[in-house]
Amino acid sequence: MATSKNTTAFILQQLGHTDRFTVRAMFGEFALYADGKVVGLICDDQLFVKIMPETAVLEGRSERAPAYSGSKDFYLVPEAVITSDRDLPAVLLAMAATLPFPKPKRSRKS
C-alpha cells in the first residue's frame, strides 16, 4: 500500500522546521530527510525512524518493526508521539548531525 501525500504533509507539519525537514518519493513510499540526510521512512502511512543511540528516547514509546518486507527493524513511531512529542524534531536533527552525507552519484558516461 503506497503512502499518501497527505500523510507526508501531516508529518512535515508536525515536525515544523520546514527548512530542515523534507521528503522524497521512493518506490511508492517516502524517505524523510533532516538536513539532507535520511533519518527515517514513511511507509504504509506510518513513520519509521532509524534505530540509533540518538533515537533511544523512542524506545519506550515506539515498537520495533520492519518498514517493508525484508528490511531491518526501525522504530515505528505512533501518531500520538508525532503529534504530541515536541522533542521529536530535535531527536531527528541530532541523529542527522551524526550521519554522513550521502555519497554523490556519479554521472553516467555516454
In the chain, domain spans: 5-98
pTM as predicted: 0.86
Would you say the C-alpha torsion 57, 60, 62, 63 has a positive or negative sign? positive
Q: What is the pLDDT of residue 1?
A: 58
On whether the CB atoms of residues 92 and 40 are closer than 8 A, the answer is yes
| Three-class SS state of 47 | strand
At a CB cut-off of 8 Å and minimum separation 6, what does 91 contact? 54, 55, 57, 58
Q: What is the pLDDT of residue 110?
A: 61
Counting residues of the chain whose pLDDT is more than 70, the rounded percentage is: 98
What is the mean pLDDT of the segment spanning 40-53?
A: 93
| Three-class SS state of 104 | coil
Q: Which CATH number does the domain 5-98 belong to among 3.30.1460, 3.40.50, 1.10.20, 1.10.10?
A: 3.30.1460
Question: Mean pLDDT over all residues of the chain?
Answer: 89
Q: What is the pLDDT of residue 2?
A: 74
Q: What is the pLDDT of residue 31?
A: 94
Q: What is the pLDDT of residue 86?
A: 85
CA angle at 10 for the pair 87 and 39, rounded to the nearest 5°: 55
